[in-house]
C-alpha cells in the first residue's frame, strides 16, 4: 500500500522526491533519471543510492518498471506515485510560500 508521505524512506526520502518529480515528465531509465535530478538541483545520485531508492519506490507501488530496452529499463510513475508527489509538492509549496512571506520576499 502506498504511504501518505515519503518520510518512511528516511535517507532516501529526498532522492525519492526528485526521482518522482523526474518521472512526472515521462518514463525514464536509471541514468536519464540521475541526469535530470542533477538538472533539477537535486542530490548527485550514484548508482547505489539511485537503485536503492528505485527498489523502495517500486516496492511501495509508487513507480513501475517497463520492459527493458537492451540493458536499460525505463520506469514510470504510477497513479499512487503521482498522487503522493502532488501531496508532497503541495506541502513544499505551502512551506515555501509561508517562509517567503515571513521573510517579506513574496
Partner 1 sequence: MRPARRRPRRPERRARIAALLVRAYPRSWRERYGDEVLAWVGEGGLGPARALDLVRGAMDARLHPELVEKGLIRMVERLRGSVLGVLCGYAVFVVAGAGYQKLTEYEDFTAAANRHAALGATSRTIVVASVVALVAMVVAGAPIGLATVRQALAGRRALWRPLGLVALALLWTAGTLALMAWRGRSSPLPPGTMASVSEVAGWLASLLLAVTVGVAAAVTAVRRSELGLGLLRLGTAAVAVVAAAMLVMLGATVWWGLALRSADPALFHSHEGIRASSTVASWASIVALMTASTALALRAGVRGLAANRRPSG
Q: Which residues bind partner 1 (CB under 8 A)?
A: 29-31, 34, 46-52, 54-56, 59, 67-73
Q: Which of 73, 68, 84 is nearest to 1 (CA)?
A: 84
Contact (Cβ atoms closer than 8 angstroms) between residue 82 and residue 23:
no
- Judged by beta carbon, residue 22 or residue 34, the one nearer partner 1 is 34
Min CB(43)–partner 1 separation in Å: 11
In angstroms, the CA 88 to CA 14 distance is: 11
- Judged by beta carbon, residue 19 or residue 50, the one nearer partner 1 is 50
Residue corresponding to grid cell 533519471: 33
Min CB(30)–partner 1 separation in Å: 5
Q: Phi, psi at residue 28, to the nearest 5°?
A: -145, 155
Q: Phi, psi at residue 72, to the nearest 5°?
A: -95, 140
Min CB(69)–partner 1 separation in Å: 6
- Judged by beta carbon, residue 75 or residue 84, the one nearer partner 1 is 75
Amino acid at each position: 500500500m502506498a504511504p501518505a508521505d515519503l518520510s518512511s524512506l528516511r535517507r532516501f526520502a529526498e532522492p525519492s522526491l526528485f526521482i518522482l518529480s523526474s518521472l512526472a515528465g515521462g518514463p525514464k531509465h536509471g541514468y536519464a533519471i540521475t541526469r535530470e535530478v542533477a538538472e533539477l538541483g537535486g542530490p548527485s545520485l550514484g548508482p547505489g543510492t539511485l537503485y536503492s531508492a528505485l527498489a523502495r519506490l517500486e516496492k511501495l507501488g509508487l513507480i513501475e518498471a517497463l520492459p527493458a530496452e537492451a540493458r536499460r529499463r525505463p520506469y514510470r510513475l504510477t497513479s499512487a506515485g503521482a498522487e503522493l508527489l502532488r501531496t508532497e509538492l503541495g506541502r513544499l509549496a505551502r512551506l515555501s510560500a509561508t517562509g517567503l512571506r515571513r521573510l517579506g520576499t513574496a
